[in-house]
Structure 1
């Protein structure tokens, strides 16, 4: 009896000790794939999921919105699970606390999601109207939710499988080292194997496939594109550049010049046949050789006798927006020689991520070769030298000159559309802008450099023509995307917004980064003057840089109308 009386008071204490000691063991021994969800993970997941329906720079298609919502929700769940794990290191919540937390989530989360789905639909509709786009179909919302659930479920299953693999390695290593070291080793092994599989198998194969596909596309010819009969075009019978070596975008460039009859009809004066010169990747072995070939083509066609010579640094695939060269040809009645050359098969974003040195080498080689020949001419006989870059082409142009002062002195005019976050000169000019001027439309005193968020603003300039003009739509994600969006609120979302940025857009860590990244995919699908679409806005840019004698704002409006139709 005495033994029982002595032992009885110890039983509750022993149970408490056993529960505290055994709790981690029970959690660690649960099946990884079938274990329950984390309450903190679900809470943060719901918050991230709702915030993905907030607007960004551009409207998102329903399927892409679903993928983004599911992907971002998985990030929220991972972060919430990590927070919960850290909390449990210091305090292990009781089952009662956990049940209360789940009940609170079940009460709050469904109406919160429904509210943001309704708000998201309204925000997308208003954003589309702001950009002049047709409204989204209401029934797309249900498909968006379905895609988001499938995306989140797939990522959660993948994470559980990786966690199961880490536990398996930990049990294997546990025979040799202490438990904590075994789990660390298992985590490291799975992380290394996962990254090797992603980088070596998935990413490398995707880049290789993209390069192969782009090369095949480059070998084709667009509809209605035929070999030019004019000897003033590369690829013609008398050209030093063969038609087959131009590539798809090169063939488009040399054949889409306006006919002489159209140039004459617009100006009311007899027009010249424009000169267009291009070198494709297979036209010569190196960038320097291609640039030298372009200069020889300029000699052959008499390009140095024209009123204007313009050097175009294209996007990754070698594409040049035809509205840009055509606008110069209309403005100068065909008395122009336009030159460009290809440096990659891949789109700009892949070229930038994989090897941005190609655009720098190509831009530097071509601009340097043309300028060297141009500077040897007598100053009073030189044609105007203009330079153009768009997207990745702006990066190559800036790296060629190095500084804003060198750009001002290096040509009669430089037009850059859609500069990127990595552009060194653009970044320096923006940081040194006049106090009070917004980042999307900065003023820079001391140099003849102009920024424009809306092309028609350039019609109001006074004084002598500018030497450098940056055109950057305030809704262009190519301009405003940056890795710092992950953790830092950008300047373009502070204070006064750009003219086509919705006031309903706000910055959220991680979420705004992914939203803007998705905007990049559809930046070229926006209407003219929004997103990464500049098109006939180049007329305003050229008029601010190098207007022909007698050119008026009415002429700018008339030419833009012609190009748009």
Structure 2
């Protein structure tokens, strides 16, 4: 034990840790444990706290450097006080690491109450107390690792400066400035170029392999009402993993009839994958061919679903739509990428928008081109997360949406959505940003929980456009502006599920909500980025379903649960 203590003491002495940096690291750790939008698993919280500590340490070192170089030389104190200050600083430097460890453990213990409150607010189980006590050790490991990396970069910088001073006979400040520029350029190139390129290349390879994977619950359809089935112009093998899941999922006509206790139709599910055709327009054209092949104009409605990332269509949404319509519906989608949704949000937003525009325009033109004597089905748009951004791309604004389709349900829209943002910014005075009111709710509505529209008879001019957004969904509320500007939702009373103790801190709140993005589905249904259990209410509201009340909801919720027992979310 004495040997370990000696090694640790020697290591800390050799590394000469900054007391100011450690103090700032401790403060950053405390902030990272404060209430945010969603509860975090212990291992994820440990990583977040460790990164926060590293950032805090860097800020502390920067402040100390500025003080020593700009302020301290101008201050004169008695040499006895100066000597006393140096002794205190030496003692603080030796004791600070141990104090930091003790502080982390005690701070985590006091933060348990906050985290338990956040878990309760989003109806998520409280983690065991022992899990919380693992956070400090994960945080310390991450912090030390990042500190070692930073020290390595500093050592490389100093070695480079010494080398160019000897070789080119440069002055000290010239060599330091040159070294700073070179190291900064290399780091920027790595962070902005090499790392993202390698990351996206790796993501493409992994996702590409996953896209071709066979999953047990995805089998080639035997009915002509599905793409890849008999007579289809699309090959089932070309649909991608998520496309194959969508096409082979859901209840067929017999199962729907048995479950509903009434005659149902065979639902139509149409899809084109990345390998089905080379471009968005060609994939959209294939879907239109499939609409004609399956005589989709005979159905009551056609639902366009711009997909998210990998081409995923939420099976809960598809099944809810088919249940409420008794199968009298055609659902269509196309794949534009095989990257996960959060990576697509970073790299493929333009692709998502282009694909959404192409698909919606193609289906709208298909309906408009139907002969006058042919039934014209209702046309609806459904989207989730990045799929809402893809859907919005097809329209210039709310008027265009209302003139083009018969209803829209968009759930969990990212903050960067163009139309969503313009509507929220122009909301009626006095309405909160988490549940804004636009034009008295006559044209478009926003809701944290669409259950509020059951038996609702307030004026809502069809077609209905509905956004569902949770007060605890970081996808909805994250924006770079939070770095230095307090968002409106933090200046208002907390929405459903948000901890009242959460308040705005420049820069720090941005990092808190950014961390929540990686944990967006960390709560329970109805909170964060989980909307599955609200799709029935949302779809009934968007389509203006008559007689939708508590009893009808309970009936279909039970049927939906039964229908989803054998279907994976994907």
Q: Is TM > 0.5 for Structure 1 vs Structure 2?
A: yes
Secondary structure at the aligned position of 2:332 is classed as: strand
Of 202-211 and 331-340, more deviation after overlay is shown by 202-211
Q: 1:272 to 1:278 in 2, by over 3 A?
A: same
RMSD: 2.4
Query: Is the Cα–Cα contact under 8 Å of residues 33 and 161 in structure 1 kept in the other structure?
Result: no
Q: 1:190 to 1:536 in 2, by over 3 A?
A: same
Secondary structure at the aligned position of 1:281 is classed as: coil
Query: Is the Cα–Cα contact under 8 Å of residues 472 and 498 in structure 2 kept in the other structure?
Result: yes
Superposition pairs for residues 284-299 of structure 1, below 5 Å?
284-299=277-292
Secondary structure at the aligned position of 1:320 is classed as: coil
Secondary structure at the aligned position of 1:468 is classed as: strand
Q: 1:171 aligns with which of 149, 162, 187?
A: 162
Structure 1: 5+ residue runs without aligned partners? 1-30
Q: 2:512 aligns with which of 509, 512, 515?
A: 515
Q: 1:500 to 1:460 in 2, by over 3 A?
A: farther
Could you tell me how far apart the structure 1 residues matched to 2:395 and 2:413 are?
15
1:49, distance to aligned residue in structure 2 (A) = 1.1
Q: Is 1:454 paired with 2:449?
A: yes
What's 1:62 paired with?
42
Q: 2:559 aligns with which of 553, 557, 562?
A: 562
What's 1:463 paired with?
459
CA deviation map 1:69-115 (0-9, x unaligned): 11111111111111111112233374533554677896986775455
1:291, distance to aligned residue in structure 2 (A) = 0.2
What's 1:49 paired with?
29
Query: Is the Cα–Cα contact under 8 Å of residues 466 and 544 in structure 1 kept in the other structure?
Result: no
What's 1:20 paired with?
none
Q: 1:316 aligns with which of 309, 317, 321?
A: 309
Secondary structure at the aligned position of 2:133 is classed as: helix
1:32, distance to aligned residue in structure 2 (A) = 13
Q: Is 1:433 paired with 2:427?
A: yes
1:184, distance to aligned residue in structure 2 (A) = 1.1
What's 1:340 paired with?
333
What's 1:122 paired with?
113
What's 1:478 paired with?
475
1:380, distance to aligned residue in structure 2 (A) = 8.8
CA deviation map 1:194-219 (0-9, x unaligned): 23334444332221111111111111
Could you tell me how far apart the structure 2 residues matched to 1:32 and 1:180 are?
29
Query: Is the Cα–Cα contact under 8 Å of residues 473 and 531 in structure 1 kept in the other structure?
Result: yes
How many correspondences in the alignment?
Answer: 535
Q: 1:40 to 1:381 in 2, by over 3 A?
A: same
1:492, distance to aligned residue in structure 2 (A) = 1.6
Query: Is the Cα–Cα contact under 8 Å of residues 33 and 157 in structure 1 kept in the other structure?
Result: no
Q: 1:197 to 1:45 in 2, by over 3 A?
A: same
What's 1:500 paired with?
497
Q: Is 1:87 paired with 2:78?
A: no
Q: 1:494 to 1:380 in 2, by over 3 A?
A: farther
Secondary structure at the aligned position of 1:401 is classed as: coil
Q: 2:179 aligns with which of 163, 180, 186?
A: 186
Q: 1:72 to 1:99 in 2, by over 3 A?
A: farther
CA deviation map 1:329-365 (0-9, x unaligned): 1111111011001000001221121132111111111
Of 397-406 and 200-209, more deviation after overlay is shown by 200-209
Secondary structure at the aligned position of 2:394 is classed as: helix
1:411, distance to aligned residue in structure 2 (A) = 0.6
Secondary structure at the aligned position of 2:438 is classed as: coil
Superposition pairs for residues 235-384 of structure 1, below 5 Å?
235-377=228-370, 378=372, 381-384=375-378
Secondary structure at the aligned position of 1:544 is classed as: helix
Q: 1:153 aligns with which of 135, 140, 144?
A: 144
CA deviation map 1:208-264 (0-9, x unaligned): 111111111111232222111111000112111001001111111111122223432
Query: Is the Cα–Cα contact under 8 Å of residues 426 and 438 in structure 2 kept in the other structure?
Result: yes
What's 2:4 paired with?
none
What's 2:402 paired with?
408
What's 1:22 paired with?
none
Query: Is the Cα–Cα contact under 8 Å of residues 239 and 276 in structure 2 kept in the other structure?
Result: yes
CA deviation map 1:397-451 (0-9, x unaligned): 1122121221222210011111001111111111111111111100001651010
Q: 1:554 to 1:262 in 2, by over 3 A?
A: farther
Query: Is the Cα–Cα contact under 8 Å of residues 217 and 245 in structure 2 kept in the other structure?
Result: no
Task: Answer with 1 or 2: which has the greater Rg.
Answer: 1
Superposition pairs for residues 22-41 of structure 1, below 5 Å?
34-41=14-21
Could you tell me how far apart the structure 2 residues matched to 1:131 and 1:125 are?
10
What's 1:162 paired with?
153
Superposition pairs for residues 206-217 of structure 1, below 5 Å?
206-217=199-210
Query: Is the Cα–Cα contact under 8 Å of residues 33 and 164 in structure 1 kept in the other structure?
Result: no
Could you tell me how far apart the structure 1 residues matched to 2:494 and 2:424 are?
16
Q: Is 1:399 paired with 2:393?
A: yes
Could you tell me how far apart the structure 2 residues matched to 1:547 and 1:103 are?
72
CA deviation map 1:244-302 (0-9, x unaligned): 00111111111112222343245443111111000000001100000000000000000
Q: 1:132 to 1:67 in 2, by over 3 A?
A: same
Secondary structure at the aligned position of 1:420 is classed as: coil
Secondary structure at the aligned position of 2:304 is classed as: strand
Query: Is the Cα–Cα contact under 8 Å of residues 455 and 529 in structure 1 kept in the other structure?
Result: no
Query: Is the Cα–Cα contact under 8 Å of residues 455 and 548 in structure 2 kept in the other structure?
Result: no
Could you tell me how far apart the structure 1 residues matched to 2:149 and 2:88 are?
29
Could you tell me how far apart the structure 1 residues matched to 2:439 and 2:298 are?
35
